[in-house]
Structures are given as C-alpha cells and as structure tokens.
C-alpha cells in the first residue's frame, strides 16, 4: 500500500489542509466560500473539531505528504441533532480520481459508527457528479436539493443533500 490513514494534527497538517481547501475555494464549487483560509482560521477549525470530539482523518503517501483529508462536525446546533453529523472530504488536486476520497469516506463512516452516530449528511454541489457518484456507491441516498442557494463564479448553485443512516446507536436517548 502506498498510503496510510492518519489522525491529522494542527502542527503537522494545518498548512496542507489549508492548501487543499484554498485550491478548492479558488477553483471549484466544492466549497461555497470566496476567501482563502488563513493560518489562524485553520487553528480555530482544528480547535473546534477537538472541542466537539470530531475526527480529522488524512491519507498520506509513503513520504508523509498529505494527499487528502476528511472530517465531520455538527449538522445543526440543536440538542436533538446529536446523532447526526455533516461530513466533508477533500483530496489534493494532483491525487483525485485514485480512490482516496472513497478511502477517506469509509474511514469517516467507521468513525461515525464508533462514535455511536446515526446519520451522516453530505451537502454537495448538485453539479459535482463525481462526489455524488461516490456517495451513491457508499449507500448514501439523495434526500433533497435546495435550488439556487449559493452564488459563485457568476452563477447560481444548487445544493444537494445525501444521507447515510447507520445502525447506531443501539439505544438512543433524549436529552
């Protein structure tokens, strides 16, 4: 195997994650964002993940170069959503189309099961056929599209939601 799954840290991976995100912001609709991420914003992002107990997983090559990463976080801030998370996966532009996104997605799904979560939600630009196909291969179902909720590169963007329901937790509780 030419790569390894790692738990990302701010010290080791923040710059590489920022580079991957900033390329996606500048050249794609994978992120509905206009401004590149700063070093300080990455520190805050990692701290929010740590505080929430959310994983930041990466895939590295044999030399320790980060090829892609994935994470999840709260879906909505209300307590009854505690078993639902929204995930994201990004692969460096030079390494797309090699199965790394699927590898990261499978790791996130396994992590969600270990965390006793029930639903993973992916918000995907409706024109991103590669990401949609990946989610469908992994058992995600299309559960809705919000038309024209984003505006980037001079056009309206539709946001499609894909959901995977897990068999966890075994004994969900209120409160």
Bridge-based pairing state of the strands 141-152 and 155-165: antiparallel
Domain count for the chain: 1
Residue 127 in domain = yes
The CATH number of the domain holding residue 20 is 3.40.630.30
Is 171 part of a structural domain of the chain? no
Q: Would 43 be classed as within a structural domain?
A: yes
Task: Kindly state whether residue 174 falls inside one of the protein's structural domains.
Answer: no
For all residues of the chain together, what is the average pLDDT? 96
Query: If we measure between CA atoms, which residue out of 2, 45, 3 comes closest to residue 22?
Result: 45
> What would the two tokens of residue 64 be?
């320790």
- Closest to 126 in 3D by CA, of 99, 90, 154, 162: 162
Is residue 56 included in any domain, yes or no? yes
Residue 49 located in a structural domain: yes
pLDDT digits (tens, 9 = 90+) for 30-65: 999 999 999 999 999 999 999 999 999 999 999 999
For residue 1, the model assigns a pLDDT of 59
């Amino acid at each position: 195997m030419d790569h390894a799954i790692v738990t990302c840290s701010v010290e080791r991976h923040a710059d590489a994650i920022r580079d991957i995100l900033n390329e996606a912001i500048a050249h794609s609709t994978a992120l509905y964002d206009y401004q590149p991420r700063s070093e300080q914003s990455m520190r805050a992002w990692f701290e929010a993940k740590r505080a929430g107990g959310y994983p930041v997983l990466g895939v590295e090559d044999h030399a320790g170069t980060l090829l892609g990463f994935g994470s999840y976080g709260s879906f909505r801030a209300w307590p009854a959503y505690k078993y639902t998370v929204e995930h994201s996966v990004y692969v460096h532009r030079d390494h797309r189309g090699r199965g790394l996104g699927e590898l990261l997605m499978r790791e996130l799904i396994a992590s969600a099961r270990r965390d006793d979560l029930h639903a993973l939600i992916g918000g995907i630009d409706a024109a991103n056929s590669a990401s949609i196909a990946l989610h469908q291969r992994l058992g995600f179902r299309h559960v809705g599209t919000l038309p024209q909720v984003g505006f980037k590169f001079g056009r309206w963007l539709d946001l499609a939601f894909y959901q995977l329901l897990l068999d966890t937790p075994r004994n969900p509780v209120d409160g």
